[in-house]
Amino acid sequence: MTAPAPQRSTLDLIGNTPLVLLKGPSEAAGCEIWGKCEFANPGASVKDRAALWIVRDAEARGELKPGGTVIEGTAGNTGIGIALVCNALGYKAVIVMPDNQSKEKMDTLRALGAQLVTVPPTKFSDPNHFVHTSRRLAAETEGAIWANQFDNIANRKSHIESTAPEIWQQMDGRIDGFTCAAGTGGTIAGTGMGLKAFDEGITIALTDPYGAALYNYYAHGELKAEGNSVAEGIGQGRITANLDGAPIDTQFRISDEKGLEWVRRLLAEEGLCLGLSSGINVAGAVELGRKLVAEGKRDVRVATILCDTGFRYLSSLYNREWLESKGLPVFPWLAS
């Protein structure tokens, strides 16, 4: 095993995450399923990439000046990434998030020194939605910029320039499909665009949770949501600027129960402690692998994103009472 190259800046620790073959999902799909370990980023999630690119882009455009403030509305992980990047570069961070997100995310943001503002969860059309609240705060704060992760395409650029080339290199250019869920859309669109630049034949699939509208959009041309999900940070009801032009070839819709089954199995069988978005992504990768195998492709290899660590959800996904309150299956070791 070759040790990672030494880095001269803590920000250089963002990206270049490991890629791992997932045994159980590969057996279930009948092909190779690979997971990009984004929990290995300094902020323990894929959102570190978008945070760094958004801040660097604002600096390059002259909008973010020394001593300035970055304000963002987020389900939590982007805020954690922004807080760490701001600490490293001498900026302040103000994070607005819905108050139904995990306690661990809120505690982490406070521990990192970010100013945390919580608001009740509401529809995007409501002016009190966390995104609109963060935009107003940025407009009212001297020396502040609004990160605007949903419609700032520096987000997807981070995946075009880093995630996609890393996956291509790590898989030696032998990749047949890629899938993940969409929150802002930056990961699926940027990684898809980046991989398509290497090989147009790579199948890019959206994996959508219930309660989101994108499955119906890509399948039937209509933004229509069905059901609901407790997954944090994924699920979208509109075409964001980051999603605009995303090269989606096919789509899957995955239930929380199916996603949780992979969260359980990956922990119990392979020692990976992950969040529900990762479980949903893996379930989608299994579906994509099966589809490509059924189409007659040989030696199929599919990659997906392991978004963040399960340690961020100890009070929810890994808590028996919380799971029971949501009508979700309880992991056997928690039930006992």
Q: Is 159 exposed, middle or buried (0-12, 13-18, 19+ CB in 10 A)?
A: buried
Cα distance between residue 276 and residue 274, in whole Å: 7
Cα distance between residue 236 and residue 219, in whole Å: 15
List, in sequence order, the alpha helices (H) in 70-141: 77-89, 103-111, 130-140
Cα distance between residue 110 and residue 79, in whole Å: 11
Query: Residue 124: which residues within 8 A CB-CB, separation 6 or more?
Result: 131, 237, 238
Beta strands 115-119 and 144-146, pairing class: unpaired
Query: Of 47, 105, 196, 291, which is the active-site residue?
Result: 47
Cα distance between residue 122 and residue 105, in whole Å: 19
Q: Confirm whether 297 is a catalytic residue.
A: no
* Residue positions annotated with a catalytic role: 47
